Amino acid sequence: MSFCERLEARHAGLREVILRHPFVTGVGDGSLPVEAFKWYVRQDYAYLIEYARVLALASAKGPDLESMGWFAGLLHETLNTEMALHRGYCARFGITEQELERTEAAPTTVAYTRFLLATAHQGSLGELAAALLPCQWGYCEIGTQLARRGLPGNAPLYAEWIRMYSSPEFVEIGQRLRSLVDGAARSAGEAERARMESAYRASLRYELAFWEAAYRQEAWPA
């Protein structure tokens, strides 16, 4: 069993809670209120801005040209493909790019991105890769599970979202990150592997918190 497989087995319960979350299932069957999806798109855009900074730091931490280039490529895909999808959604909602970029990050968005940035600055590349796994591979899990159930015919935007995150290209990115995490774990000592697992667990919890925040359309109290 690989390091990633062991991580997933140890946190299977939390992963299952995410897959069964009403936001996720609501996207899958088309029943999610559109206002919750609008919140998600705007907050995920704010998240991706900081995520791009994290990927730039990951590229700088790369021990060789191959890993540096891979993270740089992922940064390019995030800035020019994934964020473009969000801008396209917002255009259909009547939200301009300027309005989207002025979105104030919600409390959970701030907490999650600050954790990733702190890990990028202070942790090893293995810790950072493990911290990225719940988002990058988690979306693959969600997308492929929802795609297997069938696209919601009554919600074309949600169907487009599912196609994006279940696409072979996106799954390939997730698999490459898994390989990177497994490789880092093989060369790490016991203490670093423990830190990698801690980073993975924290991000997994933040992923669940983010879906919950989207479902509730979280806002600052004042």
Q: Which residues are catalytic?
A: 135, 207
Cβ neighbours, 10 Å, residue 199: 24
Q: Token pair for residue 125?
A: 């590349």
Question: Which stretches of 78-167 are DSSP H helices?
Answer: 83-93, 97-101, 107-122, 125-149, 156-166
Separation CA 88–CA 94 (nearest Å): 10
> How far does Cα 74 stand from its chain's mean position?
12
Angle between helices 190-216 and 125-149 (to 10 degrees): 40
Structure tokens at 8: 């997933």
CA angle 220, 221, 222 (to 5 degrees): 90
DSSP secondary-structure letter at 50?
H
